Structures are given as C-alpha cells and as structure tokens.
Structure 1
C-alpha cells in the first residue's frame, strides 16, 4: 500500500477554505436581544414572540437591527428634550439588595461583638472591685505558689495587687470614686 501525499491531492486546500467560510457564515447567523430581565441573550434561534422588536439587537444576516420607528414625532422630541431617569437593570437591584443585606449582617455582628466586650468588661469590673474590697479590708491573704504551696501575702505584695486591681477598675469601670 502506498502513502498519499498532499501534492497528490490538490483539491484539499480549496475544500478546506470553502468549509471554513461556510462555518464562519453559520457562526455569524446569531440572534441577539434583551430579555424581560434586562440581560442580553445570544442565540442561533429567533427570540420568543413575547420579546418586542425594539428589544432585538441583532438578526442573522442583517447585522444590527434597525432602530424602531415611532409614529409620533412629537413624543420622540419630548423624550429627547427631557431624558428619563436611567433604569437600573434587575441584576443591579439584586446586587444592591445583597450588598445591603451583607452590610446589615456586618452591623449585627459588630453590635453582638460590642455587647460581648461590654459584658466581659462589666464582669472584670465587678471582680476587680470585690478583690479591691478584700485587699483593703486588712484581712490576711494567701496565694498559692508554683509548687502548690500556700503563701501569706506581705505588705509589698498586697500593695502591688491593690495597684493592679485599681488599674483594672480604671480600664473597665471608669474612674475610681473619691475617698
């Protein structure tokens, strides 16, 4: 069996060219219109009957669809003199609604976080005030060291702990009351 070379089949190049041109003309046979939600639709089939002619942007073979001609030139002049407010496509309103919903969720999260922090500060304030009252009472206090042994606090340790409690009270409760 012998091999066939391209030089023996001279008709291949013109055939390929014709096929490519046929495919490109089919690819150009596209319909383009704006549907009822404001989205552009591209199809090789005509739009449904519910789509008005003014919404058809492109027809196969004609390039762009001709602009719609109105029967009332006075209405056209009035429309060009006072432009209407731009209409927001449906997708933009959906996007705005989702954006607003996300902002509300973020606001709610921040509010819950602020409430959590406020509750923790109030709890710290109450504990620090109780601890300061205990420090100021003059009662002997004991702590547990790293070995688990009980140690009695001396005056220096009490003063340091009292200062620490006053700092917590200042941060979480506000200024200390005058004595």
Structure 2
C-alpha cells in the first residue's frame, strides 16, 4: 500500500473500531488498538499492502494473522476483544461451573451478534470445530441468534431520597425466558 493508501486504511479501521467498540461498550484496553503494549496484548498493523493482527511478548512474536480484507481483520480483533468483557460479565453474576462457561459463551455470542450476526456464527462454528463432536462442553454452545438484551427491572420499594445513594444500578440481562 502506498503511504497515503495505508493512512486511509488505518483511518478507516480506527473509525470502524471506535464505532464497533462503542456499540458494545468496550473501553480502555479492551478496545482493539494499533499500539504494541507487549505482554501478548494483540494489536493491529497496517503497511506494505497487508493488514496484520499480531501479538508480541517481550519482543517475541506470539501470533500473527495477515490479510488484505479489513472486515477479516475486524473480525479477528473483535473476536478476541469480546473475550474478557464476556468473562467479566459472567463473573459479576457469580455463575459457577458449566453455568459460568455457558453464560460467558452466550454473552460473547450476544456481543459479536450485535456487531455482525455473521461474526457470531463464525465464532460459534470455530468454537464448535475446536471442541470437536465429542467434547463434554459442546452442549453449552450458545444458540444463534442470541436472545435480545433487555434492562433488568428496578427492584420494588421506595425510591432513594435526595442525597442518598441509589439502591440499584441498572444492568443489562438476557430475557428471563432465555438461557444465561
């Protein structure tokens, strides 16, 4: 890519990453970046006609995926960027055992489906292939499309008075009739 084409591609990717990250509430280091933070934290590189998604640990290459397709690069970046927020979501709700894994996978499917339903299908298919047909957790693979997110209901009781701390913080949950 000539320098101006590489600069335009980077600007396009930065814009898309900001838009997609905001759509699912990613913040800070969860947002895909062009900065090498080392520590095996993935980052994006644009140049020489190639888009790269890679990670370094103490300067040694952990992995590198290359493409000329910006959508492929965005899939890789957001496939990985949704892992920790999904884990945090399941941890906050104190799921345990298989329920924790199912909730984490379901949340990740929801986040990816919000960005692009094809990304959620692809991630699920890749996970199913990785697990294989006989894996003990295969039955926990999330259904697609995932259930929609709805705000949880406010708890019963009187509203908080002036100057008092709110008794309840609004969170997003899956529909009560849906799996975790």
Q: TM-score, normalised by structure 1?
A: 0.20
Q: Which has the higher contact order (CA 8 A, sep 6+)?
A: 2
Q: TM-score, normalised by structure 2?
A: 0.20
Structure whose residues are more often helix by fraction: 1
